[in-house]
Structure formats: C-alpha cells, structure tokens
Structure 1
Amino acid sequence: MRIAVLGNGAWGAALAAACARRGHRVRIWGVPLREGDARTLEEALEGAEIILFAVPSHAMREVVVRARASLPRGAILVSVAKGIEEDTDLRMSEILAAVTGRAEIAALSGPSFAAEVVRGTPTALVCASADARVARRIQEALGGEALRIYTSADLAGVEIGGALKNVIAI
C-alpha cells in the first residue's frame, strides 16, 4: 500500500517508520532533511491510498489547501495533529472535510510518544472516523504487534481529547 506522510517532524517520521515496518511504500514530505524525502508535495501524494497529515495544527489548513489539487481520488485523509484551529475553533478533521469536500476522513490519536513508536515499544492509538470502514482500513494498514490501533466512531471526542491532553501536559 502507498502511504504519504505530510510533515516530517518527530511524529510524522515515527509514523512513517511504523508504516514502512509494515511493508508499505511510504513517502514523507516536509522540510527536506533526509535522502529519500519527497522533494515536492505532488511527489509525496502520487498514488497514495492513505495520507497522514502530521503537520502542526496551526499549519493544517495551509497544507491541506496546497495538497487539495493533488489528492488521489479515493485516498483516506488522516489527521494525526492534535489541536484546534485558532481562528475558527475547527478540529483538524473538520478542516480536512471543509477544504477537500471529502468524506473518507479519520483522526489518529492517543497516549503515545514518537520515540516509542520508532523503537517499536508497544503503543496504543485510536483511529476515529464517522465511517467505520475507514477506521478499520486504517487499523488494518497501520496496526501491528507493537502498534495497536483501536477504532471509534467518536471523531469529535478523540480529537478534543487529544487537544486537551496537550494543554494538560503543558
């Protein structure tokens, strides 16, 4: 399966590594830091079946707008960013839906650290989507022995919980 990871910070790189361990063909886009990173957004998105948006919440709208024209038809859009858009109070999945007009949207969140995912330390996340088939597809594609992914239909609850966790952690 082809997976695009937009954002090559710690969390994006960790999820890209986890996807690669599962045998997926992964392209990561962001600030060009490593050999093999996609040079353009279009290159990263080409043929992707799952797109993980791992950019900071304050940059989500800008990246989605830039990506919109190059999003492959039928690709599942997954926000892994924790936060609420400052000016609109929209959750990240709401930005994905509003900008793209797509319904195949999910959020992946949970009590995890990038370093644990990279090391293969057992970690649990929740994939939430209004469409149970979308959540199960992400669970099957990304989940494995060390990365357990549970599914939920409570997209708002999962995203708000993730955003509040960051506030409490600070």
Structure 2
Amino acid sequence: MTASATAPSNLSNSTHAPAAQVLNLAVLGTGAWGSALAHLARYNGHHVQTWSRRGELTLAEAVAQADVVLSAISMKGVANLADQLQQSSMPAQAILVTATKGLDPETTRTPSQIFRAAFPNHAVAVLSGPNLSKEIEGGLPAATVLASEDQAAAETVQQLFSSDQFRVYTSPDPLGAELGGTLKNVIAIAVGVCDGLNLGTNAKSALITRALPEVIRIGMHLGATEVETFYGLSGLGDMLATCSSSLSRNYRVGYGLAQGQPLDQVLEELGGTAEGVNTAHVLMEIANREEIPAPISRQVDRLLKGRITPQEALEALMERELKPEACDL
C-alpha cells in the first residue's frame, strides 16, 4: 500500500463530517501500517505529510509544521529516527505517537521509552490494538487504543483518527499498551507453530490462555501500571488478532518453521518485517537479567535460534512440572 490521498475503498464510499479541529499530521514510515493510518487521518479531513527514507521530502520538511508526529517505522530504525528528529525543527508542542511494536536490541527499550528519553518535554503516546493493516486498508471496522500519560494529548490523537469505521479508546498506561502489542508477537510465532503442526483447537486455546499471564507477568515487571491493560484491546485483543490470522507475519513465521522451512527462507518470503523474531531475542535477554519466568517465549527463542525443533519445543512445554493453574510461573 503506497502513501497517497486516496482513502481505503470502503471509506471512500461514505461521507464523514469534517474534523472539529484540523491538525497537521506527519507520518514517518510509508509501509502498510503507516499508510493505513495516513489514510484514516485524511478521511477525517486532516492535513497529512508522509516521509520515508526513499521519499522526496526530508525529515525536517515533513515535521516542520506538525501538530502530531507519528512513527510507524520498523523497530530497527527507531533509535536512529529519534536522533534525526532531535536535529530537526519539529514544533515544541508536537505530540509524538509511536505505532511500532518491538524492543531495541541495544538498549532493550520500547519505542516510547526511546522517544521519551530523547524528547522529555513532548507528550508521547502509544497507538496499539488488534489492527491488521490490510483489513483497515479495505475499510473494515476496527478499534485501537491510544495510550499516554498526558490525557489532553491522548484525546487530541483520539479525535485525529476516530471515525465511523475506526474506533479509538484512550488509556493512561502507555507502557502497558506498548508491551501488550510487542510481546504478543512472540506468542503469535508459537501459535503459528501450533497450527503448523496441526495440534488442534484444544492445544491452540490452551497455548493462548497460558500465554496471557506470561505477557502480564513480564509487562507488569517492566513497568506497566494497570493489569487491566493486558485484558483490553492492546493486550488480549491484539493477541487474538495476531494469533488467528494468516495476515500476521509473526504467525506465518511459526507456521513456516513448523512446516520445516528454514527461518531465513520464511523471512524472505514474508515481504515485510516480523518483529516477533527480534523481540524474542531481546525479551530473553531481559528475562534472564531480571529473572522473569517466560517459558513459552523461551521455547520460541530457542526455536528461532535453531537449538530445538518445533516438536521439541512442544515437548518442553508439555513436560514442565505440574502446578496449579493460578501459579505465577
């Protein structure tokens, strides 16, 4: 999907009231997700500039008049983007929004943590939810969460994207929303393996159910403020979407591995980034350092590194010590 002024097909067939306050949005990253968000803002009547490293606009030009700057680039470029933005003439009141789901391999930080460190005087928000970009591109209804400690900033961006086909909720827990969307990518790889091995609905349901407390345990340890966040759209909602659709690149990684394909081949055939691969590696670094139990994610990481087969990963989980369901391990 390319960045253009054309709305998604279904959106273009309906009318929409003009925005109460017209905002200037700069979308950094013109992949499928960034382009979908740009379309949603244009549909609401806002002014949108898009930027990519191969585009005609410079980064400084793209953000010069922005009320909201939204980053939708892959995790590997976030730290460098923050450095570049520090050298730009971004307005002092601009709200920074991250729509990236991942962990930085060098610092183990999330995107919002990187932006908050680089821009302590700017409001920073996280946009995260069960949002498969191809469905949004087609005008199908969806909902998401806009999380920020700055309530006014959250409400501003909520109005920017909300429409009759894209419902935006606010949350005061940006790190929780971000970690829910980040950690579920690792779980989606595990679920892809489950389906690739034809283990059935019972096994998949058990895996997703046991994965949720693992994600909550890690997220709360790392600084999320509300456990309810992980039961909402940016947690359980996002996990269900990513673990149940072949549109999910992370799911397809697990499925391909279970079919006997080498990881390099699977990634080459995806045509895009599967953030769960990098996230699994960084997560294990964090889990080892912080002594956080993460049995499902650990087996995914071992599988991705070629240390075990998909069948051995399953056996390792099934043969764990018996314990009560409510046990925190």
TM range, smaller chain: over 0.9
CA apart distance, 1:58: 1.5
Work out the number of aligned pairs and report it. 166
Please list, as runs of the form range in 1=range in 2, the aligned pairs for 1:1-170 lying within 5 A after superposition: 1-32=23-54, 38-70=56-88, 71-170=90-189
Gaps of 5+ in 1: none
User: Secondary structure of 1:159's match?
Assistant: helix
Higher-Rg member (1/2)? 2
Q: Deviations over 1:71-116 (max 9, x none)?
A: 2110000000001111212111110011122341000000111112
In the alignment, is the contact (CA less than 8 A) between 1:109 and 1:125 conserved in 2? yes
Structure having the higher strand fraction is 1
C-alpha spacing 1:105/1:38, structure 2 compared with 1 (3 Å): farther
Structure having the higher helix fraction is 2
TM-score by length of 1: 0.93
TM-score by length of 2: 0.49
Q: Give distance in 1, aligned partners of 2:178 and 2:40.
A: 21
Gaps of 5+ in 2: 1-22, 190-329
Q: Give distance in 1, aligned partners of 2:37 and 2:56.
A: 16
C-alpha spacing 1:31/1:69, structure 2 compared with 1 (3 Å): closer
User: Secondary structure of 1:48's match?
Assistant: coil
CA apart distance, 1:38: 4.8
Q: Give distance in 2, aligned partners of 1:145 and 1:136.
A: 17
Q: Give distance in 1, aligned partners of 2:56 and 2:188.
A: 33
User: Secondary structure of 1:102's match?
Assistant: coil
Q: Which is further off, 97-106 or 51-60? A: 97-106
Alpha carbon RMSD of aligned pairs, Å? 1.2
- Pick 1 or 2: higher relative contact order, CA cutoff 8 A, min separation 6: 1
CA apart distance, 1:13: 0.8
User: Secondary structure of 2:87's match?
Assistant: helix
